[in-house]
Amino acid sequence: MVVKLEGIIVRTTNYGETSLILDLFTKELGIIGIMAKGVKSLKSKLRAYTMKFTYGFFYVYYKEGKLSILKEVDLINPFKRIHEDLTLISYLNYITELSVQTWKESENKEIFSFMINTLKKINEGFDSFVLTSILEMKYLPFLGVGMDLSGCAKCGNTHNIVTIDGDVGGLVCKNCYTNERIVNPKTIQLLRIYEKISISSITKLEIEEKSARELSTFLEVYYARYTGLYLQSKDFLKKTLDF
């Protein structure tokens, strides 16, 4: 039976001289394996559509629990802006790897939509640094480490919040403050906005660089402290950004 799947290729593996095995992250079924026969041949009409990060509708002979067979592909979005910029390619690599690892933790279908909507916004020219932080924030509940931003992470106090701290796990109030780094008050507000904002509905994204960097640092520490994830693509991205 041929099924139509919306997906993005997140990994390719050589199989023989002319074929590939594709790891396809799909909207409908999560991550599945697909055999793409003969696509490395120069004569193959699917050669250009079986490269890593191809996003499209994939028509496959689906076999549950086994390798499915690729029949054809309709490209949805070539992400032209992203593929023409080495820095954006680094973001693409990190976002897809983070999304795959997050899906493996929860197998929630929302993850695919968050990933694709983020990539679409980056391709439209919105700030990739800010969008990536928003996505990282969105993934925390799926990783089982969502934070409570209603009050202080230490005592629950909802008043006199003075800073945020990744090691502490969220907000810090005046009474519980010890030696945590003080952030811009706008950064605390933005953290709450990141949690609630709909990525797909973003039409304007103007964030002060200082707050954007403070939130990125906070999330990096939080991920290291609570998720246990280590992604080489994140290290490469940081080197690309010269952080």
Last residue of a domain, one of 22, 47, 75: 75
The residue out of 75, 96, 128 marking a domain boundary is 75
Contact 134, 197 (CB under 8 A): yes
Task: Tell me the average pLDDT of the chain.
Answer: 96
Q: How far is CA 4 from CA 7, 37, 44, 45, in A?
A: 10, 18, 20, 18
Question: Which residues make beta-bridge pairs with 7?
Answer: 26, 56
The CA radius of gyration of the chain, in Å to the nearest whole number, is 20
| Claim to verify: residue 71 and residue 96 sit in the same structural domain | no
120 and 173 together in one domain: yes
Please give the model's pTM, rounded to 2 decimal places: 0.95
What is the structure's pLDDT at 242?
78
Q: Strand pairing partners for 20? A: 14, 36
Mark whether 22 and 84 lie in a shared domain.
no
pLDDT mean over 186-205: 95
Q: Nearest-CA neighbor of 225 among 167, 170, 181, 171? A: 167
Q: Are 69 and 105 found together in one domain? A: no
- Confidence band for 243, pLDDT divided at 50, 70 and 90: low
Same domain, 153 and 216: yes
State yes or no: pLDDT of 137 exceeds 90.
yes
Which CATH number characterizes residue 125's domain? 1.20.1440.120
Statement to judge: residues 86 and 61 lie in one domain? no
Return the half-sphere exposure (C-beta side, CA atoms, 13 A cut-off) of residue 198. Answer: 3
pLDDT at 1 over 90: no
Nearest to 36 by CA among 55, 65, 12, 53: 12
Range of the domain at 140: 80-241
Among residues 75, 102, 125, the one where a domain terminates is: 75
CATH code, domain with 66:
2.40.50.140
User: CA 208 to CA 219: how far, in whole Å?
Assistant: 17
Give tens-digit pLDDT for 77-131. 999 999 999 999 999 999 999 999 999 999 999 999 999 999 999 999 999 999 9
